[in-house]
Structure 1
Amino acid sequence: MSTTWLDDVFATKKPVIAMLHLAALPGDPAYDSTGGIAAVVRRAREELDELQAGGVDGVMVSNEFSLPYLTKTEPITAITMARIIGELLPAFEVPYGVNVLWDGRASIDLAVATGAKFVREIFTGVYASDFGLWDTNVGEVARHRARVGGADVKLFFNIVPESATYLAARDLAAITRTTVFATLPDAICVSGATAGAPTDAEALKVVKAAAGAVPVFVNTGVRAENVGSQLDIADGAIVGTYFKKDGVFENRADRTRVEELMGEAKKFREQLV
């Protein structure tokens, strides 16, 4: 496996993918039934405009405000996300992916239904998490992906999940090597403890060294001041919280902050030519 698929999808080295965090959806505890889905769509469209105007290389749509998360989502979640993405389709100017937290099968279904190029999820491992005991079945998900025609959907495996601890007594390098060999990820994501939390540079180096030709993305904690040093290790970055107004997770995307980080990312990439 090589990183050429990144070039094909994003047409740039070291792509920066922005998170488009949807407001709470029907069935979620924080859902605003008064504003309804129209309000969710309106906010999503406004934030997509801010992210794309700021120069991001890709966008990943997620139900980030569906807290507390389920490890097997209710059907209404992916169905509503499909409706929202369908309304946004004419506005996408960059490649887009999806993430139905924390449900790999639902994420793949949503990608196939909406034409998304990639998904990010926890596809492997068993964890003790804030959401209970978290078990996965990558073999079942891989077969489901094939059955629904999702072979071209690229899978980002998060092997250091947020809010969870891996139960097996194995080090990060060993987990990376066996994940690559046995489960065939298209990319690997390395995270901090929560959304917006710094990703440990040493952990990122360990995963990069063990991943071989599989691309490695830094998944949380990327900021304008560290994007160059993080991309010096990783093959790309996924950014959510920093792009929000004042860098606050609950706020909306802010074009000024997007431009700031993307300016630094582009300066770093110019050195690679």
Structure 2
Amino acid sequence: MTWLKDVIGTEKAIIAMCHLLPLPGDPSFQKEKGMEYVVEMARKDLRALQDGGVDAVMFSNEFSLPYLTEVKTETVAAMARIIGELKSDIQIPFGVNVLWDAKKSLDLAAATGAQFVREIFTGVYASDFGIWNTNVGETVRHQYRIGAENVKLLFNIVPEAAKYLADRDIENVAKSTVFNNRPDALCVSGLTAGTETDSQILKRVKDAVPETVVLANTGVRMQNLEQQLSIADGAVVGTTFKLDGKFENHVDLERVRAFMEKVKAFRQR
């Protein structure tokens, strides 16, 4: 049994993404509609995800494009306001992801009571955002300094839109990440949000670290969920739940219900 059962309530857990609209400071922030609109759209998506039966939810600033690797204070403040206003609506375990800043994700988790964070904690990458470096030792020490030691850490080891500068195979990355850092989970992604996670890479990671929770991080959909969940311990799902399966749309309750019905049937096998 993994920690997923204790924290989220089930094995083969589905963590749904609640993608927040652009926030103050983001290029696409809709100033004329203001933060009230962002909060209401987040509430609408949250309720659709919960009513559809997902196991947990993760709030992220998905539309803060292009992303920063050192996120500004105004972004974290806006996300904390949104989650604070939604607290009475949140009925399932939740996590946070401040793209792409591990310390800021932990700050937000500590402020809001989130139970897990997903981030790029380790590695150096050539990415769409330039040279992308990390400092996991400092990040974990920061976690303990701010009293967030019980927050589960989901390590994304196949970052979207980035590639390791070192030529390392994924098995070695998985093994050394687990040995050096004791992550609560490893997340395996496709190229971008909504892009299918390569099932072969997913299997290579799980085989390399069988005692560690491994999550399919992108592109799980009706057509492949059985294949992906037969390998992974769970999945992070965003785009699939949206109207017409398009990244830029809001959550479609009926798509969520249909997906979760299939997941629940898979669990009962």
TM-score class, shorter: over 0.9
TM-score normalised according to structure 1 size: 0.98
Q: Which residue of 2 aligns with 1:32?
A: 30
5 Å matches for 1:63-82? 63-82=61-80
Q: 1:91-124 CA deviation, whole Å, 9 max, x = no partner?
A: 0111000000000000000001000000000000
Listed one character per residue, the Cα deviations across residues 207-242 of structure 1 (whole Å, up to 9, x for unaligned) are 001123110000001001211111100000000000
Which blocks of at least 5 consecutive residues in structure 1 are unaligned?
none
For the pair 1:220 / 2:218, whether they are aligned, the reply is yes
Provide the residue aligned with 1:269 in structure 2.
267
Partner of 1:249: 247
Q: Which residue of 2 aligns with 1:120?
A: 118
The residue type equivalent to 1:231 in the other structure is L
- C-alpha deviation, 1:259, in angstroms: 0.8
Give secondary structure in 2 for the equivalent of 1:128: strand
Paired amino acid for 1:52: Q
CA distance in 2, matches of 1:113, 1:131: 27
- 1:11 & 1:69 partners in 2: Cα distance? 32
1:14 has 2:12 as partner: yes
The answer as to 2:114 corresponding to 1:110 is: no
User: Where in structure 2 are the equivalents of 1:1-273 lying within 5 Å?
Assistant: 3-271=1-269
CA distance in 1, matches of 2:223, 2:167: 34
Runs of 4+ in 1 over 4 A off after TM superposition: none
CA distance in 1, matches of 2:119, 2:2: 21
Provide structure 2 residue ranges, at least 5 long, that are not aligned to the other structure. none
Aligned residues: 269
Structure-2-length-normalised TM-score: 0.99
Report if aligned partners of 2:2, 2:213 keep a CA contact under 8 Å in 1.
Answer: no
Q: 1:263, CA displacement in angstroms?
A: 1.0
* Percent identity of equivalent pairs: 58
Report the AA paired with residue 229 of structure 2.
L
Contact map agreement 2:2 2:11 (CA 8 A) in 1: no
